[in-house]
Amino acid sequence: MLGVAVSAAMLLDMVMLSTGMRVSLRNLLLSRGFQLRLAPKGTLPFDTDATIPDASNVIRVLHTIPDITAISPVLGGQLHISIGSRTITATALGVDPAVQGDYEITEGHTPTAPNELVASDDFLRASGAKIGDTLSAASGYDPQLRSFTGRRTLILVGRAHFLYMASEQRAVAVPIATLQQMRGNAARDRASLFMIRARDGADVDAALKHIQAALPTVTAVSTETAMRQVDERLSYFRQLAFILGAVSLGVGFLLVTTLVTVSVNERLGEIVVMRAIGVARSRVVLQIVIEGVVIMFVGTIAGLGLGLATARYLNSILAAFPGLPAAIDFFLFEPRDAWGALGLLTVAGILAGIYPSWRGASLPIAITLREEAVG
C-alpha cells in the first residue's frame, strides 16, 4: 500500500510540475491586467540591462493605438541606500505610480511626490527603516572616486509586496522620473519595459500587430506570446514530468496487479467455491476488480497527502532559485489535477485488477479444488 501511495504521490507531483510553472507564471503576468509588454529589441522583459530610448514618444505612440487603456513604463536599476553607517543595495523600479503593475501597497501609500519611495519587507527588515524615515539614496557608485553618484534624499512612504521579485530580494520603487534623474544621462527618457493594458474584450493580437507596426524598434509580446516562449523553454520540464508521471503510473499499475494477483492466489479456494455455489463469473471478476480499485484508491488518498507535502517541500527549495519571482510555483496544486491523477489511478486500478480477476474467475473449479485439497 505504501508503494501505491508513493506512486500516487509521484504522479500527482509530476502532474503539478508539468503545469505549475506555466499556470503560476500566466497568473502572475495577468495579475494586474496587463496583457502586452514592450521590451528592448530582441529581449524579453528584464532579460538584459538594455533600455528603450525616447520613452515619452513611445507612450505618445501607444496612446494612438485603439483599445489601449493604460501604459505603465518601468525603469529598472539599483539604489544604494545609506542607513546610519550601513549601505543597503536594493533593486529599484522607477514606475508611474498611477498605473504601475509591479507592486501592491500593504502599508502606507504609493509614492506620488518625486522624493517618495516604497520598499519591500525584505528591504525594511534588512535596513531597519520605518515608514516616514528620510533616507539617503544613490543610483550608482564610482569606484575611482570611491563615492556614490546620483544621490538624492527620499522619504519612505509605504511598504509594498513586489509581484515579480524573488523571495528575499530587497526592492524599492520610486516615480520613474526620479530614477531617470538619479541615473543621469544614461537613463534620461528611457524605460526598461512598458506594460500595456487593453480594454476588456479587445483583440489583443490585433493591438499587438498595431504596436509592432508602429514601433518596429522594440519587441512587443502579448501574454500569450510570452507563454508560448515560456512553453518552449519549459518543454524539458514537461517532458521530464510526463516521463516520470508515466513511470509512476506504470509502477502503481504493476504494484496493484501484483497485490491483486497475490490476493487471488491466496484465495483460490474461496474464489472457486463462490463459483461452485453459483456466483456468476462476472460477479467474481467485479468483486476482485473492486478490490484493486480500493487498493489504488486508498493508496491514492494517502499519496495525495504525501504528494502535496513533497511538492511543498520541493517548491520551497526551488523558490529560492536566484532571480525567480517568488510568486512562481514549480508545483501548483489545482483540484483539477488532483482529480485527473485520481482518475488515472482509478483507471489503472481497474485495469490492474482485470487480468488477475479474470484468471481467478476462470479457474476450472474441480481441478482447483483438487489442487487446493492436495496443497
Partner 1 sequence: MSDTLLIAHDLRREYHMGEELVRAVRGVSLHVERGDYLAIVGPSGCGKSTLLNLIGGIDQPTAGTVTIDGARIDQMSDTEVTRFRLGHVGFVFQRFYLMPALTAIENVELPMAEAKTPRVERMRRARELLAYVGLAERSDHRPAQLSGGEQQRVAIARALANKPQFLVADEPTGELDAKTGAEMIALIAQVNRDGTTIVVVTHDEGLARAARRVVHMRDGVIVDDRRQDAR
C-alpha cell at 112: 506620488
CA distance 221 to 227: 10
According to CB under 8 A, which one of 186, 262, 301, 366 is a site residue for partner 1? 366
Comparing CB distances to partner 1, the nearer of 234 and 271 is 271
Residues in the chain: 375
CA distance 350 to 257: 10
Owner of C-alpha cell 525616447: 54
**Of 101, 98, 68, 102, which Cα lies nearest the Cα of 215?**
68
Minimum distance of partner 1 from residue 362's CB (angstroms): 9
CA distance 22 to 328: 9
Comparing CB distances to partner 1, the nearer of 125 and 370 is 370
Q: Which helix (H) or strand (E) holds 62?
A: helix 55-63
Comparing CB distances to partner 1, the nearer of 143 and 278 is 278
Q: Which helix (H) or strand (E) holds 225?
A: helix 223-233
CA distance 245 to 312: 18
End-to-end CA distance of the chain: 29
Comparing CB distances to partner 1, the nearer of 63 and 370 is 370
Comparing CB distances to partner 1, the nearer of 13 and 291 is 291
Residues with Cβ within 8 Å of 26's Cβ and at least 6 positions away in sequence, in order, are 223, 227
Write each residue from 271 to 290 as x if it is in contact with partner 1 (CB under 8 A), else as -, in one continuous string.
--xxxxxxxxx-x-------
Comparing CB distances to partner 1, the nearer of 79 and 274 is 274
Binding window for partner 1 (CB under 8 A); candidates: 134-142, 144-152, 340-348, 359-367: 359-367
Site for partner 1 in 95-154 (CB under 8 A): none
**Is residue 370 at the binding interface for partner 1, with CB under 8 A as the rule?**
yes
According to CB under 8 A, which one of 47, 203, 270, 334 is a site residue for partner 1? 270
Write each residue from 307 to 346 as x if it is in contact with partner 1 (CB under 8 A), else as -, in one continuous string.
----------------------------------------
Binding window for partner 1 (CB under 8 A); candidates: 199-207, 216-224, 337-345, 358-366: 358-366
Owner of C-alpha cell 491523477: 341
Interface residues toward partner 1, by CB under 8 A: 269-270, 273-281, 283, 364-367, 369-370, 372-373
